[in-house]
Each structure stands twice: as C-alpha cells, then as structure tokens.
Structure 1
Amino acid sequence: MALKDTFYISHGSPTLSIDDSIEARQFLKSWKKDVFPQRPSSILVISGHWDTKFPTLNVVDVNDTIYDFYGFPRQMYQLKYPAPGAPKLARRVKELLKKSGFGRVDEDKKRGLDHGAWVPLFLMYPEADIPVCQISVQGDKDGTHHYNIGKALAPLKDEGVLIMGSGSAVHNLRAINLDPNSTVAPWVLEFDNWLKDALLEGRYEDVNHYEQKAPNAKKAHPWPDHFYPLHVAIGAAGQNSKAKLIHSSIDMGALSYASYQFTSADN
C-alpha cells in the first residue's frame, strides 16, 4: 500500500518514555488511532542522535535498544524496543541515494536504535513488530543537503515505507529550566511560531535556509542535528506537499515538541 505522508516528530527529553505528564507522550500513544491508522510495511527513521560524516544506514536483523542518555531513572534502562531490522529497506535506501548522486553511503552492521528513534516508536508502535531502519544525519552539512536526501527517498512512500524524522523543533539543552512554574522564553516562542508559519505556508526554502531566515535560529538550535530530520521529511514529501501541525507543546522552557505531517500533493 502506497503512503502519501511523511512526518517530523519532536521527541524532546528521554523521559518521554515514562513520564505521563509530558503532553507529547499522550499524542504519540494515540498515534495509530488518531493520527496515522495505516500500517506501514517498514519504517525509515532519521534521528538527530546519529551524526556521521556520510549518510549511514543500520543493517541488522534485530534492532538493539541503545540507551544513549545518562543519569535518568533506572526503569528507563529496562525498556526494550526489539523491532526487526530492515536490511532490504537499507539496501533500497542506499540504491536510491546513489542514484541521486550521493557518492558515499555507509552501512553499520552492529548499531541498533538510539533513543531518538526507539522512544517515539515505543509509544507509536508498542508491539515492536514493524521492521525499522535508521539513517544518520550529517551535522557538518546544511538543510538543503538533508532536503535532497529526503527527495531521493520519496519513492519509498510508494512501497509502503513510513519516513519519519525525529528531533526537536526547538532544542537548546543549556536553556532548559526544571522549575515546573517556569515560563517559556520569548525567543523559544518566536522560533517555534516562525517555523509553524513557514511550514503551513509552504515556505520550505526558507526552512532549508533557516539560519538566515528564522529569528533566534542559533539559539533555538545551537547544533543543527535535531532540526535536520525535519528537512528529510519535507524533501521526501515534495515541494508541493501540504504541512499540518499535529502536536504542539513546550516542556522545560526550551524543548518544543511541535510535530508535523506532510502530505504529498501527487498522491
């Protein structure tokens, strides 16, 4: 079954995996019922927590659960997400990227899923029965590079593959405030609202060049790794796709959980 949608999910803090007070957790738990009832043949996830020089794919039979976070409650390290790997999908992704001019595409035959991938999937597809392949971001490249990765992977939608970017719409760990009574800083809202308007108005080129176009871009993303998965999702949906805001909340003053659905115009 062909799919027409791609997604960008903001995964925020790793505590999303256990903390019911985080609004985005309820949103993700209702995924199959309220957001995307179609069952994909497999899932390709682009997480901000895997950054490599060249596009790299994990090629495994079963995905290990990577606990790439420190000092959190013990129960988080006991969670498992043993989704099947998707070696066939990995080969297809590599083929499409090579065909589109990406000269080098690497494979990692040991790596599982980092928390940017498995935590949202743990909530969205708790049965862990859909094959998952992960692809890395390239932090030393730009938004257009990642948009072009997505563009190259667009044919996967016709093969039933769910393409999902996972990051955070605003991600500045140095600015988070653990005080539950803290207010959201104006610069967080300015960037979050700019992004919403740009996406809903289809100004994808502005998003590709967000460093020059967006207010407080460097403050919202001191490093771009959690933003680039968005560009992949947009590229895979296409220039004429329609964006929809499917969740919006801000936690700890500086983590935006804004999440978006992109529906291709040609389906």
Structure 2
Amino acid sequence: MALTMKDTFYISHGAPTLAIDKSIPARHFLQSWKDKVFPQKPKAILVISGHWDTSFPAVNIVHRNDTIYDFYGFPDSMYKLKYPAPGAPELALRVKELLMASGFKRVDEDRERGLDHGAWVPLMLMYPEADIPVCQLSVQSKRDGSYHYNLGKALAPLKDEGVLIMGSGSATHNLRALRMVDGIVPWALEFDTWLKDALLQGRYEDVNCYQEKAPHAKMAHPWPDHFYPLHVAMGAAGENAKAKLIHHSWQHGALSYASYQFKSAS
C-alpha cells in the first residue's frame, strides 16, 4: 500500500538559536514531533522556507544538502552544526512538473543550494537522524497570499506519494520590533489571535487576503516571506482541510511560534 501523507504543516521556526537554546519551548515541541505530532516517517520532505525568496518558484536539485549558515552574530557553536540530509532530486523535478502543469510558466532549478536555517533548524530537531531526503521550494515575496495558496494546491498530489509538505516561517515576524520584555506586545497578540481564529474557523480566503483583513498585518509582517509558507501548506491541504494549532509560545515579546497542522478532508 502506498504511503500517504494526509496532513500538511506550518512550523514557526523563530530564531536560529532554536537549534541550541534548550529554554525555548518550541524546541521541545519539535523534539517531540515523531512521538506526539506525526509518527509516520515520510518518504521525502518538501520544505517551503521563508529564507529562500526568488522572483519565480525554484527548487534545489542536489544529491546531498549542504548546511547553509544564513545568519550572523550568533554563538560559534551555531556554525558547527550540520544537517547532511540527502537531497531529493526526483521530488524536485516532480514539484516542477506539478507547478508547470498547473499554469506556473517558469520554475527554476538550483543545482548548488543546500538547506537554509528555515529548513535545517526545525528538521534537525524533528528528524535528527538526517536520513530523509529533503527538497526546498522558494517563496515569491512580491506575490500575494492567494498566489501561494494556489502554489500549494498544485502540490497536493505529493501527499499521496509519501511526501511531507511543510511550510517554515513565523506566525509573526518583525525583527525590528523584538524586545526583551515579559509580556506580549498588543499588536502581535491581536494579529496572532486573528490568525488562529481565521484558521480554526476555516476562513482561508481571509488568510489569503490577510493584508486587508488582519489587524496590524504590516506590523506583524513588514515583509511577507515568513508568512507565505503558511499559505502553501494551507493550499496543499485543500479547501476543506481542518486547521489545528499544535504549538503556541512566544519569544522577545513579539515573535510568535504558533504552528499549525492542516488535516486534509480526503
């Protein structure tokens, strides 16, 4: 019987120090992934990361993923971490095939790029053995939520092919607004609550049009790159999918680690 991945996911990966800081609650959530969230072992993983932003959809076609340190000013130990997951060239070509068949006229191939920290940091905690092939798909921050939702819809057949589809970003992502404070700043809480309510109530069209519908949308996401992976995961699950909040915590007053599972109806 063919392995199927009925559900898709959106993971808020927060700060890169998630990889080493044992005090971050989201780290423990991701470490419990196989036991408490998703016990099935995927055939391959497709990660849509907010840290790969291109003009057109792009996939990385490599046989072994390098670990990309796309951050600076962190402890030296961060730059010694490795996540040498196999590449997934066949999956990358399948992604390209599905997107072009759905009307996306151009899908680029990157034959050098490895995994950015939006991919390897959560995966290192979720699947520390690094034995599952991984492919990345980029976002297009100059497009809108509906575009990325349709990107996800085109990828839905991958679920029946044993592929785990995972968006990786942050539910709120305004790095200039982070503060070393005890409470949660009001605008971040209001946006995060709106998002949770919209998703759990199935108001996916509102989420697609979040810039007009959500409170403090521009403050929560000055740039949309970390939000659009959610739209891809949402679209891949299907319009009748049920959203479930699977983790919720905060850091630095304004950085939400809210993560969601989209349970496909079919």
TM-score range (shorter-chain normalised) is: over 0.9
Return the TM-score normalized by structure 1: 0.98
Counterpart CA distance in 2 for 1:12 and 1:125 is 18
Residues 1:48 and 2:55 aligned together: no
Equivalent residue number for residue 60 of structure 2:
58
- Candidates 178, 188, 200, aligned match of 1:176: 178
- Candidates 5, 14, 30, aligned match of 2:7: 5
Amino acid at match of 2:11: I
Counterpart CA distance in 1 for 2:101 and 2:116 is 28
**Deviation, structure 1 residue 182:** 3.0
Equivalent residue number for residue 190 of structure 2:
190
Counterpart CA distance in 1 for 2:183 and 2:70 is 28
Equivalent residue number for residue 88 of structure 1:
90
SS in 1 for 2:82: coil
Return the TM-score normalized by structure 2: 0.99
- CA deviations 1:57-96 (Å, max 9, x no partner) are 0000000000000000000000000000000000100000
Counterpart CA distance in 2 for 1:80 and 1:126 is 10
Equivalent residue number for residue 210 of structure 1:
210
Q: What's the C-alpha RMSD, in Å, of the aligned pairs? A: 0.5
Residues 1:107 and 2:106 aligned together: no
Counterpart CA distance in 1 for 2:96 and 2:58 is 9
Mapping 1:146-161, distance limit 5 Å: 146-161=148-163
Equivalent residue number for residue 167 of structure 1:
169
SS in 2 for 1:49: strand
Figure out how many residues of one structure are paired with residues of the other and give that number.
264
Equivalent residue number for residue 28 of structure 1:
30
**Deviation, structure 1 residue 183:** 1.6
SS in 2 for 1:97: helix
Counterpart CA distance in 1 for 2:201 and 2:183 is 28
**5+ residue gaps, structure 2:** none
Residues 1:75 and 2:85 aligned together: no
Amino acid at match of 1:200: L
Counterpart CA distance in 2 for 1:182 and 1:5 is 35
Counterpart CA distance in 2 for 1:184 and 1:263 is 29
Amino acid at match of 1:148: N
Counterpart CA distance in 2 for 1:68 and 1:44 is 19
Identity %: 76
**Deviation, structure 1 residue 195:** 0.3
Equivalent residue number for residue 39 of structure 1:
41
Mapping 1:107-126, distance limit 5 Å: 107-126=109-128
